[in-house]
C-alpha cells in the first residue's frame, strides 16, 4: 500500500461478538478482519453482558485487523464504533461499569415500557416527541426497570451510556453519542434533535449523566486517549468518530442517505431481523421505531427479536443442519423464543402447529424459516405503508429489497425471503456492512468527507440481484391466520 494512503478502522460491537475491519480509506478495500466473542448471560427474559468484555474484545479485534492487514500502525488515521442499539450501560464515577449491561433483547422491562407508554399523553405523544412508543427493548424502559428493581444501582450511577457511547468514551475520553443511536433511547426527541426534558423528568434521569449529542456519527470526538492507544497498539493521533448504532452504520455502509423516500428498503437478517430505509420523511407509526439516521435525517425501522438465532435453535432441536430445510407445507411455526417486538408480544413463547405422524423434520425447520421471514416482511409492509406507499403496488413490489446480515449468505434464508416476498433481492457483495459503515464514519472524522458519499464511492452497497420468485400466498395466509388465532394466547 502506498505510504500516502491511510487506513481506517470500523468496529462492529454486536450482541455476540466484536468485528473490526481495516479499510483503505481511499478505495474502500477491505484489508483485514479481526474478531473476538462476547458472552451473553441470563434466562427468563434477562439478557446481560459485561461491558469490560466488549472493551477487551474491541482491543483484540483491532489488533488482529491491523496485524493481518500488514500495515504499520502509523498508517491508521481514524476509528469508529457501531454498536448494538438500546443497551443500558451504567457507569461508576471512574467511568467503569457499575453492573452488567442490560441488552436490547432483555424483555424484563416490558411492564415498565407499557406503563411509560401510557404516560405523557399516551402513545401518540411519544411518537410526536421521540418517534417511537416505548417497548421492552428501548433504553428508557430498561432504566425504569433498574430504578424499580435495583434502586441502589440507579442511585449510584454516575453515567448512562449506550454500548457504542461507552466504547467511544473508552477510546477518546469524550462522553458523546450521535442522533442515530440516541434515537433508540426514547428520551431523545427526533423532532427537536435534543434530549426531551419532560421524558427525563418522568424517568428521574439527570441530563448530566448523559453524553453530549454530536451532529453526526462522523463528528470527531477526539483522538485516542493514552490508555486506549496502548491497548490498541495505535498512535494517539488516530481520530475517533462519535460512531452510531449498528442499523445506522449498516445504512451508511450501503450508501443510503436521506435523499429519497424509501428508494432502498433493507431487510437485515441477524440475531434480530430488521427492516429499514433512509428517508427525509418522519413517519409516525406505533409499530415502528422512528429512528434518526446518523446524519440527522430519518431511518424508520421495524425489528423482530427472533430471526437467525431462533431458526438455528430449531435446527439444533431437530438435529438438522441449518440449510437442511424444506417448505413447511401444512406446518406453521411462530418462532417467538424470546418474546417478540414486532408484533409487540414481549411475553410470547414459540408456537408449532400442523404436525402429523408423517411430518418431515425438514418441513418443521422450513416452517421456522417461514415464520421468521413472515414476521420480518410484515414489518416491512408496515414500514412502507407508514411512509405512504402501498406495499402491493407493482412499482413498490418490483423494487429490489436489499438483503443483508448473516442470513443473507444462507440459501434457505434467501429462498424463503424470495418466496414469501415475491420481490427481487439485491445481496451486497460486502459482508461486513456495519463495520464498513463505521469505517466510513472513521474516514469522515479523519478527513471531513461525507461518509455516505464515501461509502457510495467505495461501492460497498453493490452486489448480486436475484430475480423474484412467485409469491407464496398460500403460506403467507396460513401463517397470518395462525397468528391471528393465537394472538390472545400469545399476549398472556
Please list the active-site residues.
246
User: Contact at 8 Å (CB) between 120 and 140?
Assistant: no
Query: Of how many residues is the chain composed?
Result: 492
Residue with cell 417486538: 341
Cα 425 from Cα 346, distance rounded (Å): 30
Sign for the CA dihedral angle at 40, 41, 46, 50 comes to negative
Strands (E), 4-83: 7-13, 17-24, 30-37, 48-49, 76-83
Q: Which three cell numbers stand for residue 68?
A: 493481518
Cα 110 from Cα 95, distance rounded (Å): 28
Cα 345 from Cα 177, distance rounded (Å): 30
86 is in an annotated binding site: yes
Cα 115 from Cα 264, distance rounded (Å): 35
Cα 276 from Cα 266, distance rounded (Å): 5
The number of CA neighbours under 13 Å toward the Cβ of 300 is 27
84 is in an annotated binding site: no
User: Closest Cα to residue 84, out of 51, 59, 116, 61?
Assistant: 51
Cα 482 from Cα 365, distance rounded (Å): 17
**Per-residue DSSP letters for 92-148?**
-TTSSBSSPEEPTT--TTHHHHHHHHTSTT-HHHHHHHHSS---TTSHHHHHHHHHH
Helical segments of 319-462, H only: 361-386, 394-397, 411-421, 433-447, 451-458
User: Closest Cα to residue 402, out of 375, 433, 364, 372?
Assistant: 433
Cα 148 from Cα 166, distance rounded (Å): 23
User: Contact at 8 Å (CB) between 69 and 8?
Assistant: no
| Those residues with Cβ within 8 angstroms of residue 389's Cβ, 6 or more apart along the chain or in another chain | 261, 262, 396
SS3 221: strand
Annotated binding site for substrate: 85-86
Annotated binding site: 85-86
Amino acid at each position: 500500500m502506498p505510504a500516502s494512503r491511510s487506513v481506517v478502522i470500523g468496529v462492529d460491537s454486536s450482541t455476540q461478538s466484536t468485528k473490526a475491519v481495516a479499510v483503505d480509506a481511499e478505495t474502500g478495500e477491505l484489508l483485514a478482519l479481526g474478531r473476538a466473542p462476547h458472552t451473553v448471560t441470563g434466562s427468563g427474559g434477562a439478557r446481560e453482558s459485561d461491558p469490560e468484555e466488549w472493551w477487551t474484545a474491541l482491543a483484540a479485534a483491532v489488533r488482529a485487523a491491523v496485524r493481518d492487514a500488514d500495515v504499520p500502525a502509523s498508517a491508521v488515521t481514524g476509528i469508529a464504533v457501531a454498536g448494538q442499539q438500546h443497551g443500558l450501560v451504567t457507569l461508576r464515577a471512574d467511568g467503569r461499569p457499575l453492573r452488567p449491561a442490560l441488552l436490547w433483547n432483555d424483555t424484563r422491562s416490558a411492564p415498565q415500557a407499557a406503563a411509560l407508554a401510557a404516560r405523557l399523553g399516551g402513545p401518540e405523544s411519544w411518537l410526536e416527541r421521540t418517534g417511537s412508543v416505548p417497548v421492552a427493548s428501548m433504553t428508557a424502559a430498561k432504566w425504569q426497570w433498574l430504578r424499580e428493581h435495583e434502586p441502589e444501582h440507579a442511585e449510584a450511577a454516575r453515567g448512562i451510556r449506550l454500548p457504542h457511547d461507552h466504547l467511544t468514551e473508552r477510546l477518546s475520553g469524550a462522553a458523546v453519542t450521535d442522533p442515530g443511536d440516541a434515537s433508540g433511547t426514547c428520551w431523545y426527541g427526533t423532532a427537536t434533535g435534543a434530549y426531551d426534558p419532560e421524558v427525563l423528568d418522568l424517568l428521574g434521569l439527570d441530563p448530566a449523566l448523559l453524553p453530549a449529542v454530536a451532529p453526526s456519527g462522523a463528528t470527531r470526538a477526539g483522538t485516542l486517549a493514552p490508555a486506549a492507544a496502548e491497548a490498541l497498539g495505535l498512535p494517539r493521533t488516530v481520530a475517533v468518530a462519535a460512531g452510531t448504532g449498528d442499523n445506522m452504520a449498516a445504512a451508511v455502509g450501503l450508501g443510503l442517505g436521506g435523499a429519497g423516500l424509501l428508494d432502498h428498503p433493507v431487510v437485515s437478517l441477524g440475531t434480530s431481523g430488521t427492516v429499514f430505509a433512509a428517508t427525509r420523511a418522519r413517519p409516525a407509526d406505533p409499530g415502528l421505531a422512528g429512528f434518526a439516521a446518523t446524519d440527522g435525517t430519518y431511518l424508520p425501522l421495524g425489528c423482530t427479536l427472533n430471526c437467525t438465532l431462533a431458526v438455528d435453535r430449531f435446527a439444533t432441536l431437530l438435529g438438522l443442519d441449518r440449510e437442511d430445510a424444506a417448505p413447511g407445507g401444512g406446518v406453521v411455526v411462530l418462532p417467538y423464543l424470546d418474546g417478540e417486538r414486532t408484533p409487540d408480544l414481549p411475553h410470547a413463547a414459540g408456537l408449532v402447529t400442523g404436525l402429523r405422524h408423517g411430518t418431515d423434520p425438514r418441513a418443521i425447520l422450513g416452517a421456522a424459516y417461514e415464520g421468521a421471514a413472515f414476521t420480518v416482511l410484515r414489518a416491512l409492509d408496515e414500514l412502507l405503508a407508514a411512509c405512504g406507499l402501498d406495499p402491493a403496488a407493482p412499482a413498490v413490489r418490483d423494487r429490489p429489497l436489499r438483503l443483508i446480515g448473516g442470513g443473507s449468505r444462507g440459501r434457505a434464508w434467501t429462498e424463503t425471503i424470495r418466496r414469501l416476498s415475491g420481490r427481487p433481492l439485491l445481496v451486497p457483495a460486502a459482508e461486513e456492512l456495519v463495520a464498513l459503515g463505521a469505517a466510513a464514519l472513521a474516514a469522515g472524522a479523519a478527513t471531513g468527507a461525507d461518509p455516505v458519499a464515501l461509502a457510495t464511492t467505495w461501492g460497498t452497497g453493490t452486489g448480486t440481484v436475484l430475480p423474484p420468485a412467485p409469491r407464496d400466498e398460500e403460506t403467507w395466509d396460513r401463517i397470518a391466520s395462525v397468528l391471528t388465532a393465537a394472538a390472545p394466547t400469545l399476549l398472556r
